[in-house]
Structure 1
Amino acid sequence: MKKIKTNFNPRLRASKKYSGLQLMETFFQFNELDVSKERLSNIMNYAVKRNNWINEDPAVMFQFHQLMKLLIRAGYLIMLKEKKWTVDARPEKISPLVLGLLSEEEYRNPILVFKNAFKEYSIKEFDYFMSGIVHFSMGVYENLPERNIVMPYIHIVKMLDAAHLILQRRRERKMAHANSG
């Protein structure tokens, strides 16, 4: 009888085969921005509650965890290889509703979000953070996460916004290019 080997590693790894933009597009094919931010927020809330756990299907949680790891790697690749994704540096004020957690400078150049995040934390530390909050959100535990989990959370929310902004600007450029040609 032939043994069947199951590969539990994510199919799309951040490697030379895929660009950061392709990985970001893959993430947003499976997740909408607002749903991802809400799910991440729920996971965080339940991770710090001692007597309660999240009422989500573990398969959904695992898939979200894997896709978040994919997005983090995509951001790392973007930071290393891609050009700026800036908007016109007009002196006009940008609405706080549009900015979300991003500063005006980060909104104008979303690559800064990834540079700042990876200046503070490594990919491995972000993986550890994601694994930890998913773990603690899915059960009742005596102990809480042992590290500061607020700053990695803020960086990841900003990464979601920046990745979505980069893809949105890419689509706008393609549309402008298609209309002009």
Structure 2
Amino acid sequence: MKKIKTNFDPRFRAVKKRAGLQLMENFFQFNELEVSKERLSNIMNYAVKRNSWINEDPAVIFQFHQSMRSLIRAGYLMMLNERKWIVDSQPEKISPCVLGLLSEKEYRNPMLVFKKAFREYTIKEFDYFMSGIVYFSMGVYENLPEKNIVMPYIHTVKMLDAAHLILQRRREKKTADANSG
């Protein structure tokens, strides 16, 4: 009898050119920006606390972990395609409240966030970061994460903002195109 091997390896495979954008849209269909940033912050806070663990349902944390992995891969895919995503060319001063963690340059071209993040870290390192903070937030452990987790955290929050901004501008462009045509 022939053995059938099932591949449970969650490696990233992308076939379509627009897969990155579709993954981002899927992420924000099930996760709101502010809730995602707050959940990521809570997971991060509990990951570095020694004698406490997060009070959320582990299934919710696991689902969020998987969603974040997809979002990170979406950004990587879009960065590989090197397509410019609706750059805001308005010369006006942008309010700091609107920027979040993004610089003005990143706000005008959100793809810079992904380019910078993947220049510094690989997808595997972002996976390690996400898995590590989830692991350490779910229980009380003697040791803390051994690597610097602050910079991947900042990049991840910026990726959330940039992805949301890309989708928002895409919606605005579609609305403008529909109204003009």
Same fold (TM over 0.5): yes
Shift of 1:84: 3.3
Corresponding residue for residue 51 of structure 1: 51
Q: What is the 5 A alignment of 1:84-99?
A: 84-90=85-91, 92-99=92-99
C-alpha distance in structure 1 between counterparts of 2:9 and 2:137, whole Å: 22
**SS of match in other structure, 2:79:** helix
Corresponding residue for residue 83 of structure 1: 84
Deviations 1:122-141 (A, max 9, x none): 00000000000000000000
Q: What is the 5 A alignment of 1:15-94?
A: 15-17=14-16, 19-81=19-81, 82-90=83-91, 92-94=92-94
- 1:88 maps to a residue whose letter is S
**Distance change >3 Å, CA 39–CA 9, structure 1 → 2:** farther
C-alpha distance in structure 2 between counterparts of 1:129 and 1:108, whole Å: 28
Corresponding residue for residue 127 of structure 1: 127
> Which runs of 5 or more structure 1 residues have no equivalent in the other structure?
none
Deviations 1:2-54 (A, max 9, x none): xxx998677xx551146111000000011000000000000000000000000
**SS of match in other structure, 2:24:** helix
C-alpha distance in structure 2 between counterparts of 1:15 and 1:110, whole Å: 21
**Distance change >3 Å, CA 14–CA 163, structure 1 → 2:** farther
Corresponding residue for residue 159 of structure 1: 159
Shift of 1:103: 0.1
Answer yes or no: is the 8 Å Cα contact 1:110–1:165 preserved in 2.
yes
Corresponding residue for residue 109 of structure 2: 109
Corresponding residue for residue 143 of structure 1: 143
Identity level (%): 79
Shift of 1:158: 0.1
Q: After the TM superposition, which parts of structure 1 deviate over 3 Å for at least 4 consecutive aligned residues?
A: 5-10
Answer yes or no: is the 8 Å Cα contact 1:14–1:23 preserved in 2.
no
Number of residue pairs matched? 175
TM-score normalised according to structure 2 size:
0.91
C-alpha distance in structure 1 between counterparts of 2:155 and 2:13, whole Å: 19
- 1:42 maps to a residue whose letter is N
